[in-house]
Structure 1
Amino acid sequence: MSPKTLAIASVALMVAGSLLAALAAPLTLDVIAIFIGGVGFVGLISSAFLAIGLSEDRARERDTRPPR
């Protein structure tokens, strides 16, 4: 999964969690909404770290290639 796809899915989870929290009345739904939003937030942070790691891997590969 690319970092962009992961970020988009994570934002969608955060929005879904926020909407559920805003519209939910029982405590159980609030807990579920917080969980869904939290998973989305963790996914968003993870996608940032994945993008950084992939760019470092590309740079390392570019630097270790023998000159032509």
Structure 2
Amino acid sequence: MELIHEGKYAAEVEIEFHYSDESWSPTMSANDAKKLDAVRSALRRNDIPEAAKYARLFELKPISA
């Protein structure tokens, strides 16, 4: 699971990390990286339906103290 924050939105994107004994561990697949980029790009354009194809979305609202 990866969280992305973009403007007034947050997105919870399901990705799979791959663990190994190599120094670059953990890694993710190229498809998962593209999914993260697609969600981030869609949120920047305020294209909520597109981002929702890949993620669970949240709208962030400030809380006054």
Q: Which has the larger radius of gyration?
A: 1
Q: Which has the higher helix share?
A: 1
**TM-score, scaled relative to structure 1:** 0.34
Q: Which has the higher strand share?
A: 2
